[in-house]
Amino acid sequence: MQLISILSLLSSLMCSLTVLGSSASSYVKFPVQKLADIINICTQDVSTVFKRNEVLNTTVINGIGVYVVKMEIGTPPQTLYLQLDTGSSDMIVNNADIAYCKSMSDGSDYASTDNYELTATFNGLPSTTISSEAYNTLCSYWGTFDASNSSTFENNATFFNNTYGDGTYYAGTYGTDVVSFENITLNDFTFGVSNDTIGNPSGILGISLPIAEFTDGIEYALALNRTPFIYDNFPMELKNQGKINKIAYSLFLNGPDAHFGSILFGAVDKSKYTGQLYTLPMLQAFNTLGSNPGMIITAQSVAILDSESGNKTVSDIQFPVMLDSGTTFSYLPTEIAEAIGKSFDGEYSSDDQGYIFDCSKVNDTLLSVDFGGFNISANISNFVTSAKDRCVLNVKQSESTYMLGDAFLVDAYVVYDLENYEISIAQASFNNQEEDIEVISDTVPGATPAPGYFSTWVYKPGSPIGTGDFINVSWTSYSEFSQYKSLLATAAQSDDASSFSSSGGSSESTTKKQNAGYKYRSSFSFSLLSFISYFLL
């Protein structure tokens, strides 16, 4: 029945998608279908009607941390369903001759009988075991790409390989071809064709910054003193080919219980949030690669809110964090995760990799994150899985990369501006109001710099994520901050960042416990001359 549900739902997508946009659209809209599980798929109707004639209506399926969009590739077009991922940057499709899917068919690589079972783990979720027959059907139904059957495909022979956090692996070469979804067509679009895949029968459509592209291995390329192959990915090509005005998109997951959400490329929908939409700068995360920041912002503190005890700050540690819709759970500094778990009188379980506690303690409790003068709150029940009367808090401990995943983002409205390297956030609104969509042409409409915009973490050049230093600085004006951003390219080339000169002086804390494992320089009035001295002395 579960497999039938998958086939039924995907079949409905092929038949019911409606295009109400035009090729001159100034923004592109992907309605998001939410699913309880990639295997246990709901069978509700996925057709949706939109009134605005400039909206592209392409239905997207959303599993736990997984979005799937129908794409057509090549000449003649071949239909594939790809996972839409805000945490990666490449479009990757599985080769029609890939051994992974062929072994699904004959079972040769996985078992000696036709009745073997495979265990799949998606985005860190508990494993789901399904039959070889089901996986073989999934592999063929998501679709694979046969480059030899496309007259417009060109292979550029550039190698890529990558392993995701859930163990999914892709390796192959890049090429270009025609990519279309409904009435939108992208010509000469670059994507990867995987010849070696483990753990995922579908491909991926990554929409993050190009700095996160797999290419031929950025670190490997740099080690060989050659320029990595970095290309214009999906969001960039939407602008390059006139589909949107700005390389930006807004994400609305519509709460944990809703069946539909949306992703808007090139626009913001003011009806989908309440209160002020605040903007924060992305952190400079890949300094050795140039001037572009990564999709990371500053979290100032974390609190637990409930009707009985009110606001209880569990940690005032400042830390860099990703807002990643491709991740289900949240990964926070160990001390913060421990503090949250203990606030529910929980006991840590290494088997569950989370804190176990009495479910009655959940109630209407909220997890609130201060991003610098404003808070976004998510219901703690979003982070909880239960068995009988016991609950597991899925806020994971991490010593390196920190992420707030879907469990947090379902209660937030997030705009990712990939050109200005900014992220805007507001509390999501679930009032089902009439759409109020505005195209993003320059800055995000309705957004304003957060109170803490000018006091944010800056990543020091020369060290990878999780091992380097962050400094905390305060600018005296927006123009001064803009000058700082323009200097990052030069600063990134300096390996001598051991000293910092400030007209006001500063004190450095080297207490790892207080600063999530990073060195922290307390906030001070920032001088541009001092900043230049810091990187050039």
Amino acid identity at 453: Y
| DSSP β-ladder status, 330-333 and 395-398 | parallel
- This prediction has a pTM of 0.73
Query: Which structural domains are found in the chain, ordered by start?
Result: 2-244 (2.40.70.10), 275-430 (2.40.70.10), 455-536 (no CATH)
Which pLDDT belongs to residue 224? 60
Tell the residue number behind the tokens 């690589």, with chain if given.
Answer: 109
Average the pLDDT over each of 55-64, 254-263, 271-280 and give the range with the smallest value: 55-64
Average the pLDDT over each of 48-52, 117-121, 174-178 and give the range with the smallest value: 48-52
Confidence of residue 40 (pLDDT cuts 50, 70, 90): very low
Structural tokens at position 88: 């990666």
- 515 has pLDDT over 80: no
- 261 has pLDDT over 70: yes
Question: Percent of the chain, pLDDT > 90?
Answer: 28
Residues in contact with 406: Cβ distance below 8 Å, sequence separation at least 6, in sequence order:
64, 65, 253, 325, 327, 328
Catalytic-role residue among 324, 370, 411, 417: 324
> Is the pLDDT higher at 157 or at 201?
157
Confidence of residue 311 (pLDDT cuts 50, 70, 90): confident
Q: Are 79 and 68 in contact (CB under 8 A)?
A: no
Report pLDDT digits (tens) over 98-112: 766 665 444 333 322
The rounded distance, in Å, linking the Cα atoms of 324 and 327 is 6
Which pLDDT belongs to residue 274? 96
Q: Where are the alpha helices (DSSP H) in 44-131?
A: 99-106
For the chain, the average pLDDT equals 69
The rounded distance, in Å, linking the Cα atoms of 172 and 92 is 9
- 497 has pLDDT over 70: no
Which pLDDT belongs to residue 500? 23
The rounded distance, in Å, linking the Cα atoms of 220 and 479 is 37
Structural tokens at position 210: 């190009």
The rounded distance, in Å, linking the Cα atoms of 333 and 320 is 10
The rounded distance, in Å, linking the Cα atoms of 347 and 460 is 37
Residues in contact with 35: Cβ distance below 8 Å, sequence separation at least 6, in sequence order:
41, 42, 61, 62, 63, 64, 66
Active site residue 324: yes
Report pLDDT digits (tens) over 412-458: 999 999 999 999 999 999 988 899 999 999 999 999 999 998 777 65
The rounded distance, in Å, linking the Cα atoms of 174 and 158 is 5
Q: Are 414 and 382 in contact (CB under 8 A)?
A: no
Confidence of residue 64 (pLDDT cuts 50, 70, 90): very low
| DSSP β-ladder status, 384-387 and 375-379 | unpaired
- 286 has pLDDT over 80: no
- 39 has pLDDT over 60: no
- 526 has pLDDT over 90: no
Q: If you average pLDDT over residues 504-533, what whole number do you get?
A: 29
CB atoms within 10 A of CB 393: 27
| DSSP β-ladder status, 310-315 and 301-306 | antiparallel
The rounded distance, in Å, linking the Cα atoms of 30 and 205 is 13
φ and ψ of 211, to 5 deg? -60, -20
Helix (H) or strand (E) holding 511: none
Amino acid identity at 493: Q
> Is the pLDDT higher at 134 or at 336?
336
Residues in contact with 507: Cβ distance below 8 Å, sequence separation at least 6, in sequence order:
521, 522
Q: Where are the alpha helices (DSSP H) in 412-527?
A: 478-492
Secondary structure, 3-state, 413-461 = EEEEECCCCEEEEEEECCCCCCCCEEECCCCCCCEEECCCCCEEEEECC
Report pLDDT digits (tens) over 232-259: 999 999 999 999 999 999 999 888 776 6
The rounded distance, in Å, linking the Cα atoms of 62 and 352 is 24
The rounded distance, in Å, linking the Cα atoms of 103 and 259 is 34
Which pLDDT belongs to residue 426? 98
Report pLDDT digits (tens) over 72-97: 999 999 998 887 788 889 999 999 88
Q: Are 535 and 491 in contact (CB under 8 A)?
A: yes
Which pLDDT belongs to residue 451? 93
Q: How far is Cα of residue 40 from the mean position of the Cα atoms in its chain?
A: 23
Which pLDDT belongs to residue 137? 55
